[in-house]
């Protein structure tokens, strides 16, 4: 009888991170029946959609064990000019809780023959490598974004050794060369923290330095999509072994879809095939009324059917999150818009994104270019219009437009420049004009657009990756073999 191989997963408490790491855990269990997997859940003080998703986990997947970590001892609040550093320090403050959970809930409840086969930590939780080291357990880093962005992160320490400072936005025409991108990356499109002198840059640099301590890096992508990036990582002396095991998608869940799910899907059932453009900008994406008015005008003029998910902006300042509008769009949309478009459009709050993208009526997707959304759109063969707002979405859009030619470009940078870009607070300051939006919508919905055929081809490749002998299937096998050793 084989020994039980205990795995502990430490995700970042944000929905986009947790969904994909839980899907990874499901695949591991499917591959190796002797895994026992425990997910340690940190409770955030924001991200309400994360909390809703966590509530649904136990009911949807009973093969995994979930442990809710107690909060760290209260401390003096520290005002940080970098949300990334603030959040990273918050995650790191849970080291003792992770240690105690492994002792009290994992090792104490395991049979004597069990062993700690590994600790899988999200890339923002590298502080937990110290805890894994205490148990002499190998650490695997989980990277929920693209292989290209992983390559960028691994390159940061090399660049810092040469230059010794954060990136500068003073020259709008400057470019930076990263081995994982096929083309030079405009420096202006790099994630906001890399320009931050008040801890943001240092925070990401410190995480990147610790990547090399991992026994392996698990990335949510597939080789056929990012062949250049995956190859560059495979030959990089700075990178531990990389396992491209994606796309890791929650295709059945939609636990956060809200009460409008049935109404939305019923409305889509009544629309012709590939006739609807879907607009959705993630849990943190929101817009102020001036930008909403431009989008409304574009949709009205385009003549296309549409499903538009709107989030209400939070009050200015702080770390408040956008909220779900539900059916209340008072003060957000132009007067008469809903009436004039009632026969060909639907406006909603939170939308069941995977169910929408998988519906035959949907033919295009105006998206913030979060990595999960990109993978979902490719899985269902729905082409994207790029509207990146925060985090690494700008370079996601760049890769999809310039390196891969798999999307319709609207903008490569629509970020909020008022200090809240990382969390989407305060909406978007730069207003994109209705004419520009209308042109992109018409482009993505044009049945003759060659992007549509390329996306359809990538749809098939994304599914083949998980078939026996496929790239992700084989990569996952190598990962499992490494984790279980000679068991």
- If asked whether residues 281 and 199 sit together in one domain, one would say no
- If asked whether residues 321 and 183 sit together in one domain, one would say no
> Buried b vs exposed e over 8-22: b needs ≥16 C-beta within 10 Å?
bbbbbbbbbbbbbbb
The reported pLDDT for the residue numbered 110 is 66
Average pLDDT of the chain? 89
Please choose, from the candidates 3, 39, 1, 2, the residue with its C-alpha nearest in 3D space to the C-alpha of residue 115: 3
Instruction: Write the pLDDT tens digit of every residue in 460-470.
Output: 999 999 999 99
- If asked whether residues 339 and 472 sit together in one domain, one would say no
The reported pLDDT for the residue numbered 172 is 81
Model-level pTM greater than 0.85?
yes
- If asked whether residues 312 and 440 sit together in one domain, one would say yes
Classify residue 79: in a domain, yes or no: yes
The answer to whether the CB of 384 falls within 8 A of the CB of 367 is yes
Classify residue 256: in a domain, yes or no: no
Classify residue 140: in a domain, yes or no: yes
Structure tokens at 157: 């320490």
| Total domains, the chain | 2
Element containing residue 204 per DSSP (H, E): helix 200-211
The reported pLDDT for the residue numbered 422 is 36
Domain CATH number, residue 319: 3.40.50.2000
- If asked whether residues 202 and 293 sit together in one domain, one would say no
- If asked whether residues 140 and 284 sit together in one domain, one would say no
Classify residue 255: in a domain, yes or no: no
Q: Is 237 helix (H, G, I), strand (E, B) or coil?
A: coil
Please choose, from the candidates 482, 480, 485, 483, the residue with its C-alpha nearest in 3D space to the C-alpha of residue 28: 480
**Statement: residue 334 has pLDDT above 50:** yes
- If asked whether residues 272 and 420 sit together in one domain, one would say yes
- If asked whether residues 471 and 454 sit together in one domain, one would say no
Please spell the DSSP secondary structure of 360-379, one letter per residue: TTEEEEEE---HHHHHHHHH
- If asked whether residues 149 and 124 sit together in one domain, one would say yes
Classify residue 100: in a domain, yes or no: yes
* Rounded mean pLDDT, 309-323: 70
Instruction: Write the pLDDT tens digit of every residue in 238-292.
Output: 899 999 999 999 987 654 555 688 999 999 999 999 999 999 998 778 888 999 9
- If asked whether residues 226 and 327 sit together in one domain, one would say no
- If asked whether residues 183 and 317 sit together in one domain, one would say no
Alpha helices in 138-260 (DSSP H): 147-163, 200-211, 227-234
Distance CA 19, CA 330 (A): 32
Distance CA 428, CA 289 (A): 10
- If asked whether residues 94 and 138 sit together in one domain, one would say yes
Please choose, from the candidates 229, 216, 236, 209, the residue with its C-alpha nearest in 3D space to the C-alpha of residue 119: 216
Structure tokens at 417: 């420049």
Instruction: Write the pLDDT tens digit of every residue in 215-245.
Output: 999 999 999 999 999 999 999 988 999 999 9
Q: Is 346 helix (H, G, I), strand (E, B) or coil?
A: strand
80 pLDDT band (50/70/90 cuts)? low
The reported pLDDT for the residue numbered 487 is 43
Which range marks the domain in which residue 354 is found? 261-461
The reported pLDDT for the residue numbered 72 is 85
Q: Is 169 helix (H, G, I), strand (E, B) or coil?
A: coil
Structure tokens at 320: 């408040």
**Statement: residue 113 has pLDDT above 80:** no
């Amino acid at each position: 009888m084989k020994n039980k191989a205990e795995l502990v997963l430490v995700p970042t408490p944000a929905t986009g991170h947790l969904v994909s790491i839980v899907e990874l855990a499901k695949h591991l269990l499917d591959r190796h029946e002797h895994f026992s997997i425990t997910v340690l859940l940190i409770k955030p003080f924001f991200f309400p959609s994360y909390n809703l998703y966590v509530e649904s986990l136990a009911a949807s997947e009973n093969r995994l064990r979930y442990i809710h970590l107690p909060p760290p001892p209260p401390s003096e609040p520290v005002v940080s000019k970098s949300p990334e550093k603030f959040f990273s320090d918050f995650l790191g403050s849970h080291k003792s809780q992770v240690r105690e959970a492994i002792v009290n809930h994992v090792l104490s409840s395991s049979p004597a023959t069990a062993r700690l086969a590994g600790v899988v930590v999200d890339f923002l939780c590298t502080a937990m490598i110290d805890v894994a080291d205490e148990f002499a357990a190998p650490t695997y880093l989980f990277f929920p974004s693209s292989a290209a962005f992983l390559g960028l992160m691994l390159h940061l320490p090399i660049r810092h050794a040469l230059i010794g400072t954060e990136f500068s936005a003073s020259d709008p025409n400057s470019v930076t060369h990263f081995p994982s991108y096929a083309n030079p990356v405009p420096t202006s499109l790099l994630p906001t923290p890399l320009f931050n002198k008040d801890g943001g840059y240092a925070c990401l640099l410190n995480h990147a330095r610790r990547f090399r301590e991992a026994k392996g890096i698990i990335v949510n992508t597939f080789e056929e999509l990012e062949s250049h990036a995956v190859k560059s990582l495979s030959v990089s002396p700075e990178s531990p072994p990389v396992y491209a095991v994606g796309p890791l998608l929650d295709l059945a869940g939609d636990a956060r879809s809200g009460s409008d799910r049935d109404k939305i899907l019923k409305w889509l059932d009544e629309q012709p095939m590939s006739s609807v453009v879907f607009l959705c900008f993630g849990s943190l994406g929101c817009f102020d009324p001036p930008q909403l008015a431009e989008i409304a005008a574009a949709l009205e003029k385009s003549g296309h059917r549409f499903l538009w998910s709107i989030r209400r902006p939070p009050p200015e300042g702080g770390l408040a999150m956008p909220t779900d509008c539900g059916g209340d769009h008072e003060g957000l949309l132009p007067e008469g818009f809903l009436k004039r478009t009632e026969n060909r459009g639907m406006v909603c709050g939170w939308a069941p994104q995977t169910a929408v993208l998988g519906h035959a009526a949907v033919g295009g997707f105006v998206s913030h270019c979060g990595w999960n959304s990109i993978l979902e759109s490719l899985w269902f063969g729905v082409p994207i219009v790029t509207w990146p707002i925060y985090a690494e979405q700008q370079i996601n859009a760049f890769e999809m437009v310039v390196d891969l030619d798999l999307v319709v470009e609207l903008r490569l940078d629509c970020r909020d420049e008022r200090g809240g870009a990382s969390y989407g607070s305060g909406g978007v300051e730069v207003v994109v004009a209705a004419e520009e939006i209308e042109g992109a919508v018409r482009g993505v919905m044009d049945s003759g657009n060659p992007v549509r055929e390329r996306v359809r081809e990538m749809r098939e490749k994304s599914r083949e990756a998980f078939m026996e002998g496929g790239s992700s299937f084989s990569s996952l096998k190598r990962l499992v073999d490494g984790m279980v050793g000679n068991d």
